């Protein structure tokens, strides 16, 4: 897609912390989008490695990059909220520092948003390991998802989301409530509970890097965070147990592909 002077601006938010080994690849995948009228807001969350220097060098090469530097580490949610508050556009997208986008991600999402009137657009995901080797599996997604369907499994990957800036700021949990919970999952659930809509593209337009950590302890921590997310959105005790069981079954099905 060309003619960026006739396109609306899209703001892409990239929080980074000690990501010197992967940041260039992630940034490159944003800058190579076929939809090129974008600003890339990188929030360096007080990295201790060379991440800040790499980001500054990248910004010198492309004027679409804007850098926000935190003097102390504030955490991913606060970094995203700060960037969203300073974004110039109505619609924003996210990418994590170890993920990457397909070149047509934004173009295809904007087309679906315009045809469906959706409030949030997500995509399927491909996966790589820590060394960049691809897994032979794709996490497929439905064409739309309801509140109750999403409760059973968070199929909306943060790096795949296109969303209104005001909705993200409104529905993201406050910082005081984000201890040991999945903030992005809570945001999507609260949106759908209030009647907003989410539509998906069943193509792997993002590639997600699977963490090296796969210990039983990390899985238990994720399950605990998920339960806290259900508590945050106001589910009763038995409802939390039911949806937590769904989460665990779906999680086991997913993670068997990464062995």
Is 60 exceeded by the pLDDT of residue 215?
no
Q: Which residues of 32-41 are buried (b: 16+ CB within 10 A; e: fewer)?
A: ebebbbbbbb
The confidence score (pLDDT) of residue 258 equals 85
User: Measured in whole angstroms, how far is the alpha carbon of residue 74 from the centre of its chain?
Assistant: 18
The confidence score (pLDDT) of residue 34 equals 98
153: closest CA among 135, 164, 168, 141? Answer: 141
CA 101 – CA 31 distance, rounded (Å): 10
Cα angle 139-41-24, degrees, rounded to a multiple of 5: 65
92: closest CA among 174, 25, 161? Answer: 161
CB 19 within 8 A of CB 98: yes
More confident residue, 107 or 219: 107
Is 70 exceeded by the pLDDT of residue 217?
no
Average pLDDT, rounded, for the chain: 93
CA 14 – CA 116 distance, rounded (Å): 26
Q: What is the pLDDT of residues 113-158, one digit of tens each?
A: 999 999 999 999 999 998 899 999 999 999 999 999 999 999 999 9
**What residues pair up with 67 in beta bridges, in sequence order?**
42
Q: What is the pLDDT of residues 7-43, one digit of tens each?
A: 899 999 999 999 999 999 999 999 999 999 999 999 9
Mean pLDDT of all residues in 189-196: 98
pTM of the model: 0.93
CA 14 – CA 34 distance, rounded (Å): 19
- Which residues 6+ apart lie within 8 Å of 183 measured at CB? 76, 77, 172, 173
Share of the chain above pLDDT 70, in %: 94
CA 7 – CA 90 distance, rounded (Å): 13
Question: Domain 7-98: which CATH class?
Answer: alpha beta
Extents of the domains making up the chain: 7-98, 100-156+169-259
- Which residues 6+ apart lie within 8 Å of 133 measured at CB? none
Is 70 exceeded by the pLDDT of residue 2?
no
């Amino acid at each position: 897609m060309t003619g960026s002077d006739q396109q609306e601006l899209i703001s892409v938010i990239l929080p980074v912390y000690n990501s010197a080994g992967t940041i260039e690849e992630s940034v490159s995948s944003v800058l190579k989008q076929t939809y090129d009228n974008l600003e890339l807001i990188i929030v360096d969350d007080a990295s201790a490695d060379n991440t800040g220097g790499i980001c500054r060098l990248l910004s010198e090469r492309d004027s679409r990059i804007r850098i926000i530097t935190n003097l102390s580490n504030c955490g991913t949610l606060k970094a995203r909220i700060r960037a969203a508050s300073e974004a110039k556009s109505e619609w924003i997208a996210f990418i994590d520092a170890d993920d990457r986008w397909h070149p047509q991600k934004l173009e295809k999402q904007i087309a679906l948003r315009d045809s469906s009137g959706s409030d949030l657009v997500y995509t399927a995901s491909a996966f790589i390991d820590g060394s960049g080797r691809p897994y032979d599996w794709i996490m497929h997604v439905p064409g739309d998802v309801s509140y109750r369907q999403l409760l059973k499994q968070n199929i909306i990957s943060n790096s795949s989301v296109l969303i209104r800036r005001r909705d993200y700021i409104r529905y993201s949990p406050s910082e005081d409530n984000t201890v040991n919970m999945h903030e992005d999952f809570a945001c999507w659930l609260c949106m759908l509970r209030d009647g907003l809509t989410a539509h998906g593209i069943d193509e792997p337009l993002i590639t997600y890097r699977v963490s090296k950590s796969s210990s039983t302890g990390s899985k238990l921590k994720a399950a605990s965070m998920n339960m806290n997310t259900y508590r945050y959105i106001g589910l009763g005790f038995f409802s939390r147990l039911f949806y937590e069981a769904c989460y665990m079954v779906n999680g086991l099905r997913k993670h068997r592909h990464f062995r």
